[in-house]
Structures are given as structure tokens and as C-alpha cells.
Amino acid sequence: MSDKRRFSAPLLVAATIDFASATAAPIADHFEPSTDVSLMCGASGAGIATFFGLCLYGISANQAAWEYLRDAIAGSFVVVYILTVAWSSFIGVYSGPDDGSKLLPISEAFVNNFTGLTGVVVGFYFTTDVISARKGV
């Protein structure tokens, strides 16, 4: 197996699972709009697939453990955040109360809190990147 194919296989699997979650969860939620369980499961599945895909990619690329774990954590948060924001943007189509005009209260609280948490994770990701570059680690 070539090095290029070995390195890209975990990312291809993770991207496939992410795409399946991103498309199947809103469709399932359309048939049961009173809860957002399918969206929660879809986002969780995409985050877990991204985390393990990036970990396996880092291991196969012989990265240091702290480096590929940092990449996997930040990547997972970003993927879940992007899915959550994208789904909440089209909430009138897929989810919400009967009038379809706004998010369910628990979903609204989740999006607001997850926005701050993702900002912190991404901020720490780039901060540690700068610090490790300056120290030469």
C-alpha cells in the first residue's frame, strides 16, 4: 500500500461518516420534529468519526501524541459546530415547534454555549501552535 493511500484512508472514512451524518440526521429529524434526538446523534457521530479519523491519521503520519490529539480535539469541535450551525440555520425546514419559526429551547441553549466553547478550543489550538513554534518543540 502506498504511503499516500495509507495516510488518507482514515480521513476518507471520517469524511464519509461525517457526510452521512450531515445528510441523514436532518432527514430523520423532519419525520420527528418534536425532538432533536436525530440531530444530536448525527452531530455526535460526526464528532466521534472526525476525532478517531484524525487520531488514526496522526498515528499513521508518525506525529507526536500531543500533536495529533490536539488536532483531533480541535477538528472534532469544528466539525460538530459547523454541523450544528448549519442545521440551526435551516430550523424552519427541519425542526422546532409547530410553526417552525425558532429553535427548541434546549437546542438554542446548546448552540449559544457551544459557540463559546468552540471559540475557546480553537483559540487554544492556535495559541499552542504559536507557543510550540517559538519554543521549537
Q: How is the chain split into domains, by residue range?
A: 3-135
Instruction: Please give the sequence-ordered ranges of beta strands (E in DSSP) within 20-78, or none if there are none.
Output: none
In whole angstroms, give the CA distance from residue 130 to residue 135: 9
pTM: 0.76
Q: Using 50, 70 and 90 to split pLDDT, how confident is the model at 61? A: confident
Q: What is the pLDDT of residues 103-134, one digit of tens each?
A: 667 777 888 898 999 999 999 988 988 888 88
Q: Using 50, 70 and 90 to split pLDDT, how confident is the model at 1? A: very low
In whole angstroms, give the CA distance from residue 89 to residue 117: 19
Q: What is the mean pLDDT of the chain?
A: 80
The radius of gyration of the chain from alpha carbons, rounded to an integer in Å, stands at 17
